[in-house]
Chain A
Amino acid sequence: MAQCVQSVQEFIQDSFVPMVAVLCSEDAERVTRKNSLSFPELLRPFCRLTSEGHLRDPNNQVVVVKGLRISVTGINTRPPQTPEMHRLLSQAVSVCQPPEGSPANVITAGDYDLNISATTPWFETYRENFLQSMPASEHEFLNHYLACMLVVSSCEAVPTEQFLKLSQEQHRIQHSGEYTHPKWFIPNTLKYYVLLHDISEGDEQRADSVYEDMKQRYGTQGCYLLKINSRSGSTGADEQMPDPWSQYLHKTSIHNPELYEESAVSNAVENNIGAEEDGLDPSIRDGPLVFADDNETHPLQLDQPTDAGYPSNNASQSVNNVDMTRPQKQASVTSHTTPTPRGTCLTLNDHDHIRQFIQEFTFRGLLPHIEKNIRQLNDQLVSRKGLSRSLFSATKKLFGGGKVPEKSIAELKNTAGLLYPSEAPELQIRKMADLCFLVQHYELAYNCYHTAKKDFLSDQAMLYAAGALEMAAVAAFLQSGAPRPYPAHYMDTAIQTYRDVCKNMLLAERCCLLSAEILKSQTKYSDAATLLIKMTSEDSDLRSALLLEQAAHCFINMRGPMVRKFAFHMILAGHRFSKAGQKRHALRCYCQALQVYKGKGWALAEDHINFTIGRQSFTLRQPDNAVAAFRHILINDSKQSAVQQTAFLREYLYVYKVRNTHSCIMEALTLFSTGEKQAATHVSLDQEFDRDLSPLWRELEERVVAVVNRGAVPITFQPSQCCLNSQTDNLRYPLAVVEEPIIVEVVFRNPLKIPLALSALCLLWKFTPKDFSDPQGNTTMALNDIIDTQVIPEFTISPEETKVARLKLLPHKTGELHVLGVVYNLGTGEVDNSEGDLMCVRGQQNLEIQGPRLNMTKEEKTSVTYGPDHRLDPIITPLMPLLEVALTQAINFFQFNT
């Protein structure tokens, strides 16, 4: 697993926090709305307590509560439904990308130097979101509401009456049995009465008097007067106010529609790209559509028909935050242009007020309440069964044999074993354990969990037992001083039970995340990796991808880093990411894995990775990377089958084409290794130049010269036939004559197992006119007036063939010529393809010839230097006499020598 920002202890503590519900009157809601926040949202940034709290456990020992966080939510907040939750999570992950140019962590393992991001913020985001959106379960009380805040505005006509109404409402929600959600921790929930006073509007005197009245009625511990909105909303001149809400509320709304759009559309693109020529089109066409869709089905939108399980405020008279969806929705729609400012009516003083309020609520209200309940539960447990409890159950087991426990009449049987009624005595001990856990009394919590576990196991209540096991393990880990080692096998059993017996993947996943984090902190990386890999499954690609990635990080962080396992699991993670529509993450995974496979001779694996990288980059509109990746597959001596190569090539050409429409930069298409080149000048025989015959020609020429000079060959004689190759002396610029053709031979090699078709093949050159007779020559003339370039319309190379192309230039002017390279259209060898014209790209291959290695001086011998080679830079001279020989009769002219 990668490093995390939070420590393990912080992470676990933050995963399980006391839950507080909020019930707001309509007026109070209006007051907070001024800041475009609901009341729970208003409190959220201040929910972590900075000071220590104290409470006494049943043995009258003081327990210190440090850094407690409470979670405040509206009473009708429901955990997102499964599909919605999936969407939220995948959004959170896709928005969270590695920062550009983040300090990469270089890990050296054996002969590998790997660049790996040390942290994986997307995983942490996922985990946080996942844990927060866990639905409340029957078998545990950790995320059941412990308390309820009743909030009434001071400008209400009769605030006390309103309080009474809200209180009844709360009672109705909890006790009437109409609602299955939300769940409540204890029957007598703590009610905390909050009078919300808007300083800019209301009458302060009146608020104070109402507060006095409340104190009489509910006691000083049970009520609070919260004054906010000191600033009227319009005076927003000084925008220097910190916005503590941004980090809490941004996450839930889409602020980067582009990213989201990508993740939504990408699947369609992926399927199309291989099959169709216009693979990109659907995504472009669909893009705006999907984008519009986003606003329609916004994840925050709650205006579906409310189901009976939830308290809906439409029916009741006190309308709470039903309205809240609409402003938020609008906010997110407009958020691309101007993010709605939050908390505009609050001054820093107000922030302090809120902070104080939370502190007061927790220390005076919540903690004493918890303390009281722990004490009560403890008394109950001791009085009812005492110590004989476990003894009794043991004897019962011994003598009772397989007898069904007596309480089973009240129990419902389900697949996961028993279901206790919510007030069953067996659950009381679990309740107490949970309370102790929430206030960080881990020792007592562990003991309770342990006892509860035994009870549940003996009853075969598997879900409950798994829950108790899980929390017992966590509590044992969190005990300071570590009196006992972390019982990893508890966690394993819990995970297995959750998954196999209860079929509850969410709980299993939570358990796995906790356990992996704990194991990681104890540097048991290999155990953590096994755990994470076991948790991957077919039902959620996103989860599997994230867990596999973390497993990969575990492998690399081990004492002896397992580089290859890391790479392999990265590939698996990348694959799952791409299935989950997380293109960017997929690409990143593959790129990290490539570092391991690169250049080690694992050709098939490397090709596979490169191919995937190519595709992913392409769908992410990074055509440059895509082209580079695809090129890699084709350039190297590919071991793939012909069919595969055809597919690769098609894709490459297609990507290349799309890229060119984006940006018109032409780049060298270096598919071929060019062999030797020859510049044949002067001789234009119908017969092509043949090296074996060249001495013949040379001798013939010598004889002619001898005849002309009456028998003596001059010393300055040089054969005028000139064909340059790598063996000839190429230091001088060769001379070529105007109106006589220059032929360049280029050797092409096709390394692939499929035929390639080049078309419109011709030379690329640069010409500097130099008139040798007339110094002031003008240069304004058409290209074809300077040099005729011969174009070879079709040039097919069979699989793995080496073929020579003969390219001709015919200069019309004198000057200096430089042959730079060849240009061609590259296409697949398929002729039947109707859009063959579509499937070819313009390529360019520069001809750069290295001269012979210099080996004369000492300096040259000790270093590697190469001489110049001017084969391809002929100087075009004015017309010279041209000897033309016409052979009228087919005499055996050439045989005089033999």
Chain B
Amino acid sequence: QSLCVHLNYPLYIRSVPTQGELKFHYTVHTSLDVVEEKISGVGKALADQRELYLGLLYPTEDYKVYGYVTNSKVKFVIVVDSSNTSLRDNEIRSMFRKLHNSFTDVMCNPFYNPGDPIQSKAFDSIVSTMMVQAC
């Protein structure tokens, strides 16, 4: 599993297991194109009530890539093993929601400089628990 939050450059990225990290990074980076395509695909008028969850971006041979975009265009991407069938769309959706909440908490930190990589223990631990659950 891999997870990343960003505005076209990574604010936070983490993956388990760590040995295939490079591959995950490439996957996530490439998926941003799909995210952008999906965003621009939705009409401007609908942008307000747009569903934040984008669903499955694309399946590769080994992974499934899911995307989520906040209203401020911060993108969340989750990559899971395609063999992992326990994760339904709904679970992924709730994972994203949880992630978004804790991301909001990070943003509320007055000492956080928007655009910096996220270095927050609280955020870290939430991500870790999510990854443990997913595995």
Taking beta carbons and an 8 Å cutoff, which residues of A are in contact with B? 110-111, 555, 560, 562-565, 567-568, 571, 597, 600-602, 604-605, 608
Q: Which residues of A contact B31 (CB under 8 A)?
A: 564
Tell me if B40 and A604 are in contact (CB < 8 A): no
B26 interfacial contact with A, CB 8 Å: yes
Q: Give B1-38 interface residues, CB cut-off 8 Å to A.
A: 6, 8-10, 21-22, 25-26, 29-33, 36-37
Q: Add 15 more A-B contacts to A110-B36, A564-B32 (CB < 8 A).
A: A110-B8, A560-B40, A562-B33, A562-B37, A564-B33, A565-B30, A568-B26, A568-B29, A601-B117, A602-B10, A602-B25, A602-B29, A604-B21, A604-B22, A605-B22
Cβ-neighbour of A564 out of B6, B30, B40 (below 8 A): B30
Q: Which residues of B contact A602 (CB under 8 A)?
A: 9-10, 25, 29
Tell me if A601 and B10 are in contact (CB < 8 A): yes
Question: Which partner residue on chain A sits nearest B117 by CB separation?
Answer: A601
Tell me if A600 and B30 are in contact (CB < 8 A): no
Q: Which residues of B contact A565 (CB under 8 A)?
A: 30, 33
Cβ-neighbour of A601 out of B9, B21, B40 (below 8 A): B9
Cβ-neighbour of B8 out of A111, A560, A562, A568 (below 8 A): A111
Question: Which partner residue on chain B sits nearest A572 by CB separation?
Answer: B26
Q: Give B64-103 interface residues, CB cut-off 8 Å to A.
A: none
Question: Which partner residue on chain A sits nearest B29 by CB separation?
Answer: A564
A563 to B32, CA, bound (A): 9
Tell me if B33 and A605 are in contact (CB < 8 A): no
Tell me if B22 and A608 are in contact (CB < 8 A): yes
A565 to B30, CA, bound (A): 5
| A599: min CB distance to chain B, Å | 8
Instruction: How many A-B residue pairs have C-beta atoms within 8 angstroms? Tell me.
Output: 43
Tell me if A605 and B29 are in contact (CB < 8 A): yes
Q: Which residues of A contact B37 (CB under 8 A)?
A: 560, 562
Question: Which partner residue on chain B sits nearest A565 by CB separation?
Answer: B33
Tell me if A600 and B25 are in contact (CB < 8 A): no
A571 to B36, CA, bound (A): 21
Cβ-neighbour of B26 out of A111, A600, A605 (below 8 A): A605
Tell me if A605 and B25 are in contact (CB < 8 A): yes
Question: Which partner residue on chain B sits nearest A112 by CB separation?
Answer: B8
| A753: min CB distance to chain B, Å | 14
5 A-B residue pairings within 8 Å (CB atoms): A562-B33, A564-B33, A567-B30, A568-B29, A602-B29
Q: Which residues of A contact B8 (CB under 8 A)?
A: 110-111, 600
A601 to B8, CA, bound (A): 9
Q: Which residues of B contact A110 (CB under 8 A)?
A: 8, 36
| A645: min CB distance to chain B, Å | 15
A634 to B64, CA, bound (A): 33
Question: Which partner residue on chain A sits nearest B22 by CB separation?
Answer: A604
A480 to B36, CA, bound (A): 38
Tell me if B25 and A604 are in contact (CB < 8 A): yes
Q: Which residues of A contact B29 (CB under 8 A)?
A: 564, 567-568, 597, 602, 605
A564 to B25, CA, bound (A): 12
| A323: min CB distance to chain B, Å | 54
Tell me if A568 and B30 are in contact (CB < 8 A): yes
Known A-B contacts A560-B40, A571-B26, A605-B26; A600 and B9 likewise in contact (beta carbons under 8 Å)? yes
| A648: min CB distance to chain B, Å | 14
Question: Which partner residue on chain A sits nearest B15 by CB separation?
Answer: A604
A758 to B35, CA, bound (A): 48
Q: Which residues of B contact A597 (CB under 8 A)?
A: 29
| A762: min CB distance to chain B, Å | 39
Q: Which residues of B contact A605 (CB under 8 A)?
A: 22, 25-26, 29
A571 to B27, CA, bound (A): 12
A350 to B117, CA, bound (A): 74
